[in-house]
Structure 1
Amino acid sequence: MRLVSSFGAVLLTCALVPLPGISAVAVAQDEETDGDDWSAVSETFEPENFRAAPYLGNGRIGAMIPPSGGGYHDYGTLVRTSFPLLEPRYTGTYLAGFYARQSGSLNNTEVIAALPAWSGLTLDVAGRTYQADVDPATLTQYRQRLNYRDATATTEATWAPDAEHRLDLTYRTFVSRAQPNLAVQQLSITPRFSGPLTVTDLIDGAAARRVTATTADADPDRKQITVGMRADGTDSAAFLVSTVTTPDELNGIALPANGLTAGTRFDGTVAAGRSYTVTKYVGIASNADGADPRAIATEISDSGAAHGFAATHAEHAAAWDRLWEPAIEIPGRDDYRDWIRPALYSVLSSVRAGQRWSVQPAGLSSDDYGGLTYWDAETWIFPTLLALYPELARTVVDFRVAALPQAEANARAYGLAGALYPWNDGPTQRCASPGVCGLVQEHLGNEIVLAQWQYYSATGDEQWLRDSGAPVITAIANYQVARIGPKLPDGRYHYAPAAGADEYVTFSVDSALTNAGVMATMRTAMSAARLAGLPENPRWADIAANMAMPPDIVPGVPAEYLGYQGAKIKQADTVLISYPYSYTAPGYSPEATLVYYFDRTDPDGPNMSNSVGAILSAKYDPCRTQQFLDQSVQPYVRPPYRFQSEARGERSGANTVGQPAWIFVTGAGGFLQGLLYGPSGLRWTETGPRLDPMLPSGFPNGMTVRDLAVRDSKLTLRIRPEGTTVEVTAGDPVSVETPGGPTTIRPGVPLTLPTRSACP
C-alpha cells in the first residue's frame, strides 16, 4: 500500500475465595446462544495464529487479546508487521496520540508506542501456569467469542494442567466505550479439585515497544499495581493502573517490579465445584488527558472497581448500542451481514468523538504502518463515518485543523507559502525529509481539502467552516499555488515532480489524480474563502481553469501521468478523478476510464480499490457493481473474527516491503463506503445530498441504510426493485438533489425515487 521501495525502509528497534455480592445473573447477563448473529466464534485454540486474536477498542485504547483470553503473546520472527517497522507481530495495546519520536527516518518523525499488556490474569496450579502460551494439549471445551454488539471478548476453556487438576475458566474482557480510559477483565474459575491455587494480576512489560520505564510498583493492601512510562524521544508520559476486586481477607504479595512489569500474587485454597471470580479494572492515561496522568489512571481504576463489573459493562454495552443504531441491512444476504458488522466494528473501535487524533490504516489494533496517518483517513475511512457518524468524522478533519500551524511551518521550510501536510506522520505532522513530504504523494493535500469541504457540506456547520475548515482549505491551496509556479509556454500549469496513488511509480509529471485534485482544490478554496470571509488568491481561479492534464491514452481516458504507457498499477488512482472528485472535461469518459484502469489494476494490491469501482460502476456500468462489491470484501476477510487483511495474498503489491497490514481498517472503511455511496448514488453537495439509487444484482430483496446523517437530521433509505423510499426519521426537513431535480423531504412524508436496474 505504501511507496517504500525507492527510499528504503529505516527500521525502528526500537489465593482465591468466592466474591460476595456477584450474582450468577450479573456475570452471565450477556451470554450469547450458538445462533447469535452478532458474534464470531473460534472453537479451535490457535495461539500461533495472529488472526485468531480478538480486537477490542474504544477509539482511545485499542488492544488485541490472545486466544488464551488475556496477557501478551508474540508470534515469532516469521510473522511480521508492515512497513515501516517490519517487526515480529504481537498482541499489542495502543493509546491514541501516544507516539515515540523517530530519528533517522526518511519517511516519518514519529511512530506509535505500544503499552505493556494490561489483560493478564494468570493462574498457577500444581506448578503449571495458564497464560498466553499455555500448552494446547491441556485445553478442552475451548471457545472464544467476540461479540460485536457489545464489543466483549469471552474466552471459555477447561484447563487440565495434570491428571489431578481440572478447572473451568471464563474470561470476559472489554475496553469501555463509556469510559475512554478504562479497560476491564473478569476471570471466573470453577475448579474440579480442592486445593491451593494462585491468581496473579500482571501488567506485562514484554508487550511494550518504544517506551522507557519510569514507575513500576505494587500495593497489595490496595490490590493495585502501577506502571508508568515515557514515549522514547519525547516528554509524553503514560500510566497503567490496575485494581483487582477480591475479598478483603485475602493477602496479596507484591511481585518484584522489573522495568515495565509489575504484579500482585493472590494465594488461596479452593473447593471443588465452587465458582470464584476476580476482576481487574485498568485505568490507562497519558498527559494528553491532563497534567497528572498517574492520578487520572488511578482515579479511573478505583472508580471502575467501585462501580463493579455489571455496572461498568452495562454502561459500555449501552454506549455500543447507540453506535449500532445506524445500519446497512441487506435482507437475504447473511454473508454481507457477517462482513458488514465486523467491518463497521473495526472502524468504530478505532475512532472516538471529541478527540484530537485521526484514524490510522490499522486503527488501534497494531503498529502496522507505524500508526501513522495517511490518505487512508480522508479518502477511505472518513466518507463512511461522515454518512453515519458525523461526530466521529469530525475527528478526521479536526486532526488536520490542529496540525495546521505545523503544516505551515513545513511549507516555510521549503520556502513556500501555505500549508504542507506530510504524506505519513504521527500527530505532530512534521516533515521528515524533502523526498517524501514535499515531492511525493502530494495528492494528499487535495484529499484533505475534499474531506474538509465534505464535512461542511454534510453538516452545514458554517461556524466550523469559518474557524477551522476554511483556513486549512485556503492554506493548502496557497501552498499549491507556490508549489506549481508560473504557467509554462503552453499556457498551462504543470505539477512536477509528483506522484499519484499508484505506488508502482515513484515520480511523475502531471499525475492525472494530482492535477485534477488541484483543480478541485482551487474551486473549493474560492467557495470556502467567500463563505468564511477570507482573502481570495487571484491565482486560484486561473489555476482551476488552466491546470494541465496528461493527454488521453485512449479516447476519453487521460493517461495516469505524462508518458504513461499502460503498465499495471498498484491501486485505484486515475479513476478517483471521477469519484471522490467530479472531474469533467470535453471528451472525458468516466465509464471508459473505469474500464481501462481496472483492467490494469493489480489484483494482488491493497484492498481499497474495488470499493471505488463499486461506486463508479453503480453510476456508469451498473452490471459490474455486484462484482466490485463482492471483490471489495470476500477475498480479504479472514476467520475466525472476519476482519480484513490488506491483501488477498501475503504481499500488498509487487514493490511492498513487509507483510500485509492486519487488521486493515482502511479496507473495512472502503468496503462500507462502497455500500453506502454506490447503490444510493450518494454525493455531498453544498446544498444537500444528491441521491440516484440503483440496486446491485446480488441484492434481489433490496437494501436499507438507516440513520444516514444530513445536517441535524436522519434519513432512512429503502432501496427496492420496485422503487426507493427516502424518509426523514429524525430532525427537520432535508433538501436533496435527485435525477428529477431538487426536492425537500419532510418528516412523515417519504420521498419515492425510481430504482435503477443493475442490468437494464
Structure 2
Amino acid sequence: MRSFRSPPGRRAKQGFFGAAAALLLASTAHAQSVDYDLSTNEVNRTAWQRQPYVANGYIGQRIPAEGFGYREVEPNNLTARDGTQGWPLFTPRQTAAMVAGFYDQQPETAGTNFAQDGGQQPISTLPTWSSLYFTVNNQTYSTQTPDEQISNWSQSMSVQDGVVRTSLDWMPEGASEPLRLTYTIIAHRVEPNIGAIRLTVEGLNEGMQVAFTDVFDGAGAWRTDFVSSGPVPDTTNTLHSAVRPVGISNVTAYEVSVMDIWPRSSTQWANDTGSACIGDVLSTNASTASACYRLSSPVPESGTLDAIKYVGIASSDAFPGTELETALGKANLANSTGWDAIFKSHRDAWDAVWEDADIVIPGEDNEQLQIATRASLFHILTNVRNGSEPTGLGDNSIAPAGLTSDSYAGHIFWDADIWMAPSIMSLYPDYAESIVDFRYRQLGAAKENAKQFGLAGSLYPWTGARFGNCTGIGPCADYQYHLNSDIALAAWQYYAVTDNKTWLEEKGYPLVRGAAEMFASFVTKNETGNGTYEYVTLNTTGADEYANQVNNTGLTNGALTVTIKQAMELANILGVDDLPSNLSDIYHKTLIPQARSGIILGFDGTNGSAEIKQADVVLLEYPYEFEWPNGKPTYGASAESVALTTLDFYSGANSPDGPAMTWGIYSILAAELSPIGCASWTYLLQSVQPYSRAPYYQLSEQQVDVWADNGGTNPAFTFLTGHGGYLQTLTHGYTGYRFRLDRLYFDPSLPPQLTNYTVKGMKWHGGSFDVNVNSKETTITYRSGGNGSAPVEIGKSNEKGGNYTLAVGESLSVPTRSTSGTLVDGNLAQCKSVLGINDTRFHLDPTNRTSRPGEYALAAIDGANSTTWQPFTTEPTSMTVDLGEQQKIKGFHLNWNNEPPTYYSIAVGNSSSDLESASPVASGNVTLSAPYDLAQSLIVQVDVGNLTDVSLNETVTARYVQLTVEGSYATEGFGGTVGEFAVLGA
C-alpha cells in the first residue's frame, strides 16, 4: 500500500474538456468501426477451442460446430487423463449447459489436493437446451450428420452482443438441392432466465415432409438426478426437464421451452413424439425431453420456415419454491414478447454496457489487439451478473471457465478476487460486487472453518462451491492461506471504488476483519535472541504451486501485513475498536524473507535454480502494494529496487507451462518499475497472444493445448482468469491506476509500441472518468456522476506529480512517462521493430511460427535480460531488426542468458531484401562465458548470462540488422535463447 493521506490539491483546468471529448469521440468512432462479429468458415467439428457459447451470468450453453445440440469431445487417452477437462474431474469436454451455483455433493472426485474429507461439490450440468432439430423427408440434421452433406458453413460469435449464428447448406441424402439452415442463439442479457434459439430453414419445396423437434438433451446433464421431464401440464407447445444436483435433495433446476413456428398464418402443425421424428438421434437419458411438430399443411410459397424455441431456466438456489413457475413464466414472457423485441432488448442492453465503459485502442495496426481487449471484457462480463440482484443471481462470483465449462469443477478460486475483479471493479463495479458478495455469503462457513482448525476469524477453502466448507480439492489449512488476503483485498478495493459505507459496515469490513483475526491467531512468534522476535508462518503454500507446504512463503507473509493494515484502516473509518490488540505488533514484525540480493524469497529455502508456476511474490508490489512495515527492506537499496530485482528474477524463473494470467502482472510491474526499455510490451503480448484461440479470441489456460507438450496439463477453457490478467495491463498497467480510498491515483506510462488508447468510464465514488493515454500526455476527464469534485493524485515520478481536483466536465492533462536510456550503452536496436507480423504486435493466429510460443523476437531488443527470444527449433532461425533509418554500426553485444545457441551470424543491409544475399559481418560459434556452476546456480540473484561481444574491423552503415542463430546448448528441442541483442552505434 501507499500513503492514503491526500495533500492539498490543485484545481484542474476546465478548458481541457473539449479537446479530451474530441479525442474520446475519435477513439470511440474507431472502436465502433471494428467488426466484433467474429466469424469463421473453417469447419472443425471436434476442436473445443473453436466452439462459441452464449451466457448471461446466470445461464450458459456452449455451442458445437453444428450450431446446436450436445457434443462430447473424445479424449486422446481417458485412462491417462489426456485430452480431458482436467483436474479435478478429468471428464471429457462437452458442450455444457449450466446454471450458476448448481453444485452437487459427492464423496470424492478423480483428483484432489488433500484427503477427501467433507465430500466434494463439483458443478452439475443441465440437459442441453440448445437442441432444436430439423427433419425433412425422414432425414434429420444433427451432430451426427456426415461431413459430406454440409457445405458453405460459417459460424460467428459477437463480442459486441453475445449472439451466436451458424449457417450452412445441408444436402440430405438423395436431395437435388441443398437446404439453407441458420441457427441464431442468445442468452438474454437483461432477463437472466431466458435463452432463445431461432432456426431458419430456406429452400423448401412443395411436397416435402417437414418437422421440427424441440429437445432438452439429458446427455448433457452430468452429476444430476432425474426429477421429471415432458410436456408442462395444462399448457400447449411446451416442454420441460427437471434435474437435481447429485446429493442435494432440496435443489432442483427446471428448464422449460415454448415453441413458436413461422409463418403462423399459412401453416398448420401436428404434435408428435421426438422419438417418432428423429429416432436414434435422440438420447435415452431419463432427463431427455422431446416434442415434435410436423408440418401438416403445404410448405409456404416462400420456401422458408422459422422455428423459435424460447427457454426459461430457474433453480432453487435463486428461485426457491418457484422454479417451475419462474422458468415457465419467463419462457412465456419471451414468446409473448416475440423474437424481434426480445432480440432487440438483448442487443440494446449490451450496447448500454459498452456505452458505460470500454477500452479503446485506435489504429489499424492495433485492430486485433482492440478485438482481443473487447473480447476479454465480453468473456468476463457475459459470465457474471450485477451484484445488486438477489441472492443466487448477484452473488455467484465467476469460475475460472465461466458458465459453459466444468473446468476446475466450476468452483470459485482466487482467480475471481485477484485476477478478474480489478479491471471489472474499475469499469463495472456493479458486476464486480458479485465477486465480493459471494465471499460474504459464505462468511459464516468460513468462521466455522477457522474454529475447526483452532483459529479465530474466518478461514476460506481454496475452492468455493455450495457450502464453503473445507474439502479435499478445497482445503482450508496447510495450504494457500493467501486466499484470505486475496478476499480481503478485493473487499477493500470494492469499497475504495464505491465509497459504499453501508456495504462496508455490513459486508466489507467483516470480510477484512475476519481475515485479520485469522492471521493474528495463525502466525507463530519466533524468538530471535537478545529479547527480539518476529512472526512467521509455517506449513503454507504460496501462489507458486510447485512449492507446497513450506514455511514463510513471501506472498503469504507480505499479504497478511497488508490485510492487517487495511483492517485497522477500515475500523478507524467505521469508528469501531474490535480488532485483536496484537495486530500492530504483527504488522511491524512479520518476517518478509529475502535473499542478500534483495530478492523476496518465495519461501524459506528458495534457491536460484527454482522454477515457478506463476506470479507469486511479485504480487506484493501489485496488486497488494505492500509496504515494508519498518520503512525499508532488510536487503536492497530501496523498496523500488527490491521490487524490480524480484520481478527480473521471477519472470526469468517462470515456467512456460504456467497459466496465462501471470504475464499481465509482469507487464504492469515493468511499466511501473523499469527505468529503461519496453519489457512491459513484451509481457503484454506474452499475456494474451500465445493463449488466444481463433476464431473467438477465447483464452486457453496454456500456451500449448496438447497435454504431452505442456507438462501434462489439460487447460481450462474459456480461461477467464487469463482474460482478467491481460485486462489489468490496460486498466492498471499503462494508466498506473491504483485503488485509493480518498482519491484517484495515476502514474501513466507507455512503451513505444503503443502510442494511444483510452480507458473509458472508469468508476470512482459514483463518478465516471475517461483516461486517454498517448505517447506525449495523459488526459483524465471527469465525465459524469459522483458527489462533487474528485481529488486526483499523479505519481511522483511524473513531471507534474502532485495532487489536483477535478469537477464534472473538467479535464487534467499531464505528461505520459516513458523510459529513457538503454540497457547496453549505444544500443541502436532497443525497442525498435522486428519484422514479422507476430513479433511486434498482437496477431491472433500467427503465420510465423518460428518462435517458441510466448518467446518472441521482440524480447531480444526490449532492454530486459529477463525476457528472451527462443526459436522453435534448433535449425537456423533469423530475426530482423528495423532500426528506422540508416545507422553507423561499430559492433554488437549479445546476452544469450542460460541456454545459448551454438552458432550465430549477423548480416546488415539497407533494405530487407538486401539481407537475402548479404554476407555476414560477424559470425562464429558461441562460447559459454558463464557455464553452469551448481553452487552459483543456487544463489538467489539475477544472473548476468552468457555474453558475446563483437567489434567490427570497420564501421558499416545499415538500416536492417539480421541475427541468425542455430543449435542449442540445452537438450529440450527448442533453439537457443537470446536475452538481449544490442546493435552498437559508432
Q: TM-score range by the shorter chain?
A: over 0.9
In structure 1, what is the Cα distance between the partners aligned to 2:527 and 2:53? 53
Cα distance, 1:132 vs. partner?
A: 2.1
Conserved? CA contact 1:458–1:689, under 8 Å: no
Deviations 1:719-741 (Å, cap 9, x if unpaired)? 11221110011124221211322
In structure 2, what is the Cα distance between the partners aligned to 1:486 and 1:591? 30
Query: Closer, same or farther in 2 for the Cα pair 1:101/1:617, shift >3 Å?
Result: same
Query: Closer, same or farther in 2 for the Cα pair 1:603/1:60, shift >3 Å?
Result: same
In structure 1, what is the Cα distance between the partners aligned to 2:578 and 2:809? 43
- Look up the equivalent residue of 2:784 and give its one-letter code: A
Matches within 5 A, 1:561-576: 561-566=603-608, 567-576=610-619
Cα distance, 1:635 vs. partner?
A: 0.4
Query: Closer, same or farther in 2 for the Cα pair 1:565/1:363, shift >3 Å?
Result: same
Deviations 1:20-68 (Å, cap 9, x if unpaired)? xxxxxxxxxxxxxxx9611111102211111221121100011101111
Cα distance, 1:435 vs. partner?
A: 8.8
Counterpart of 1:226 in structure 2 is 240
2:703 pairs with one of 648, 658, 663: 648
Conserved? CA contact 2:61–2:130, under 8 Å: no
Counterpart of 1:715 in structure 2 is 769
Cα distance, 1:255 vs. partner?
A: 3.5
Matches within 5 A, 1:393-542: 393-433=432-472, 436-489=475-528, 491-532=533-574, 533-542=576-585
Matches within 5 A, 1:12-411: 37-78=35-76, 79-104=83-108, 106-107=112-113, 109-164=120-175, 166-194=178-206, 195-218=208-231, 222-234=236-248, 235-246=250-261, 247=264, 249-255=268-274, 259-268=286-295, 269-270=298-299, 273-287=302-316, 288-325=318-355, 326-332=357-363, 333-354=366-387, 355-411=394-450
In structure 1, what is the Cα distance between the partners aligned to 2:374 and 2:409? 26
Question: Is there any run of 5+ residues in structure 2 with no aligned partner, and where?
Answer: 1-32, 77-82, 114-118, 276-283, 388-393, 796-800, 822-986
1:601 pairs with one of 654, 657, 680: 654
In structure 1, what is the Cα distance between the partners aligned to 2:712 and 2:403? 21
In structure 2, what is the Cα distance between the partners aligned to 1:534 and 1:209? 49
Counterpart of 1:752 in structure 2 is 813
In structure 2, what is the Cα distance between the partners aligned to 1:297 and 1:513? 46
- Look up the equivalent residue of 1:169 and give its one-letter code: L
Cα distance, 1:329 vs. partner?
A: 1.2
Q: CA RMSD in A?
A: 1.9
Counterpart of 2:841 in structure 1 is none
Secondary structure, in 3 states, of the residue corresponding to 1:538? coil
TM-score normalized with structure 2 length:
0.72
- Look up the equivalent residue of 1:521 and give its one-letter code: T
In structure 2, what is the Cα distance between the partners aligned to 1:89 and 1:218? 30
Counterpart of 2:21 in structure 1 is none
Moved more, 195-204 or 98-107: 98-107
Conserved? CA contact 1:52–1:640, under 8 Å: yes
Conserved? CA contact 1:715–1:728, under 8 Å: yes
Counterpart of 2:792 in structure 1 is 736
TM-score normalized with structure 1 length:
0.92
Moved more, 367-376 or 653-662: 653-662
Cα distance, 1:657 vs. partner?
A: 6.0
- Look up the equivalent residue of 1:147 and give its one-letter code: S
Conserved? CA contact 2:260–2:335, under 8 Å: yes
Conserved? CA contact 1:488–1:494, under 8 Å: no
Q: Which has the higher contact order (CA 8 A, sep 6+)?
A: 1
Deviations 1:675-711 (Å, cap 9, x if unpaired)? 11000000011212210111122112x1111001111
- Look up the equivalent residue of 1:392 and give its one-letter code: Y
In structure 2, what is the Cα distance between the partners aligned to 1:258 and 1:667? 36
Query: Closer, same or farther in 2 for the Cα pair 1:119/1:726, shift >3 Å?
Result: same
Conserved? CA contact 2:71–2:94, under 8 Å: yes
Deviations 1:654-692 (Å, cap 9, x if unpaired)? 996640111100000110111110000000112122101
- Look up the equivalent residue of 2:404 and give its one-letter code: S
Moved more, 85-94 or 613-622: 613-622
- Look up the equivalent residue of 1:725 and give its one-letter code: T
In structure 1, what is the Cα distance between the partners aligned to 2:61 and 2:336? 24
Conserved? CA contact 1:45–1:136, under 8 Å: no
Conserved? CA contact 1:111–1:425, under 8 Å: no
Cα distance, 1:210 vs. partner?
A: 0.7
Query: Closer, same or farther in 2 for the Cα pair 1:156/1:478, shift >3 Å?
Result: same
Cα distance, 1:516 vs. partner?
A: 0.2
Query: Closer, same or farther in 2 for the Cα pair 1:624/1:611, shift >3 Å?
Result: same
In structure 2, what is the Cα distance between the partners aligned to 1:661 and 1:434? 16
Question: Is there any run of 5+ residues in structure 1 with no aligned partner, and where?
Answer: 1-34
Secondary structure, in 3 states, of the residue corresponding to 1:395? helix
Conserved? CA contact 1:604–1:652, under 8 Å: no
**Does residue 696 of structure 1 match 2:700?**
no
Secondary structure, in 3 states, of the residue corresponding to 2:525? coil
How many pairs align? 724
